[in-house]
Amino acid sequence: MMPIAAIARERAQAFCNRFGLRAPILLAPMAGSSPPSPAAAVASAGGMGGFGALMASPDAMRNWAAQFRSRSSGSFQVNLWIPDPPPARDAAHEARVREALSRLSGIEVPGAPPISSGHLAKPGATVLRVKQAATGFWFGRWR
């Protein structure tokens, strides 16, 4: 049986070989806080940059990739969110709940906004155009 440390080193080397990296480092792709400059620095040092594209429009994704490429010839990955289908809404039930809460609290309870994933329906085509080394997905509800 191979020691755990040897297995970890082997997996890290396989990761580096697969993506052409000198170091098994992946910058965490954090939505809203993934500027191109640190991602490019990690990639230029031999790791892989990361872009958390959860909140990014297709134009912002293309712009991020262009800024990254102006700073580094290294690789990066894009992380996307694939949302659950919108929940079923019951307008009559929601109205009854708002009415009861308004009556109990003495203030008017506004209606809930419509549920929309906005630009999140379009990232797939954009990801194909920016030609990153890897793509990660986060499935489910985001709150």
Digit-coded pLDDT (tens) for 87-116: 788 889 989 998 998 898 888 888 876 665
Range(s) of the domain holding residue 83: 4-87+119-139
Asked, for residue 67, whether it belongs to a domain, the answer is yes
Describe the strand order of the beta sheet including 48-52 as a list of residue ranges: 48-52, 75-82, 134-139
> Residue 30 domain-assigned?
yes
Surface-to-core class of residue 88, CB atoms within 10 Å of its CB (0-12 exposed, 13-18 middle, 19+ buried): exposed
Count of domains observed in the chain: 1
Judge whether 107 lies within some domain. no
Q: Is residue 102 part of a domain?
A: no
pTM to 2 decimal places? 0.67
| Residue 94: inside a domain | no
Q: How far apart are CA 80 and CA 134, in angstroms?
A: 11
pLDDT of residue 115: 60
Instruction: Give SS3 for 91.
Output: helix
Q: Residues of the chain with pLDDT > 70: what percent?
A: 82
**74 part of a folded domain:** yes
Q: Is the residue at 104 inside a domain?
A: no
pLDDT at 118 over 60: no
98 assigned to some structural domain: no
